[in-house]
Amino acid sequence: MRLCRLVMVFAVICLLVSPSFTQAAPSVLVYDDNTAHQRAQNAITSLGIAYTRATGSTFSGLLTSQSWDLVVVDCPSNTPGDWLPLINYVQGGGRALMSFWDLDNDTGYGNPALPGAFDVSVSASFGTPQTVYLWSSSHPVFQAPNAIGNLTSWTDEWADDGDRLALVPLRGASALAGYTATATEGQAAIVLGNSGRTIYNGFLWDELNDPAGRSLIANEAAFLLGSVPEPSSILSLLCGLGGLGSLMWRRARKTA
């Protein structure tokens, strides 16, 4: 009986220190007001993560209502009207992932401070989807949980399709992919900024066909979150411990 108790105590200790047990499910806010394909929402779902959806009328309130582990902004059209809460969130240390059609603010739907919050500036806007070449193909963003290659399959569904990006000097940002076959200043398409806390996509996720579209967003989100908790592993461990305890109890009882 004493042996059974010792085994159960040891098992509980293992469970308590298990990363799957101690890591709470991440809190994720997804802005999606009127996308055609809901690729950001589908990508987060594919990771097994629950999320809160925000629209133009609820984004600011939700963003400032609590702490978020990750904010994902999928914005090919309707905007929340005020990007300042997002800028403040990023500058305050938050993790964010974004795709937006008017980063250059040429039609007044952006914010002059928004590019700098993501460690980028805009070189030029474009109105036709562009092939995106991987400049750092070995980066985890293109490796896990999905293998990603050059982004070549697009459907032109919106009038303004994105921006060519340059890195803000002395900020330590890195361009992971761009619109030219080799790394070229002012031609970045995917930029990792803020010491690895943000990723900005200079193209529209809504126009990047699946499976690449959903897979890329899932990879970017997983990278920013660091790791994804697996609730199923907790259940498996509990079942295993229950079975072990039951077996030890029966053996101890039989011996007695």
Contact in structure between 159 and 127 (CB atoms under 8 Å): yes
> Residues of the chain whose pLDDT is less than 70?
1-23, 227-256
pTM of the model as a whole: 0.81
Query: Please, which contacts does 168-177 make with residues 24 or more away whose CB atoms are closer than 8 Å?
Result: 168/115, 168/116, 168/119, 168/120, 168/121, 168/193, 171/119, 172/119, 173/119, 173/120, 174/136, 175/135, 176/134, 176/135, 176/136, 176/139, 176/141, 176/142, 177/132, 177/133, 177/134, 177/135, 177/136, 177/151
CA proximity to 129, closest of 166, 165, 162, 164: 162
- Bridge partners of 203? 162
Rounded Cα distance, 149 and 133, in Å: 8
What are residue 52's phi and psi, to 5 degrees?
Answer: -110, 130
Contact in structure between 164 and 186 (CB atoms under 8 Å): yes
What pLDDT score does 23 carry? Answer: 59
* Domains, the chain, ordered by start: 25-228 (3.40.50.880)
Rounded Cα distance, 130 and 134, in Å: 13
Q: Classify residue 184 as exposed, middle or buried by CB count within 10 Å of its CB (0-12, 13-18, 19+).
A: middle
What pLDDT score does 171 carry? Answer: 80
Q: What is the pLDDT of residues 118-157, one digit of tens each?
A: 999 999 999 999 999 999 999 999 999 999 999 999 999 9
Radius of gyration of the chain (CA): 22
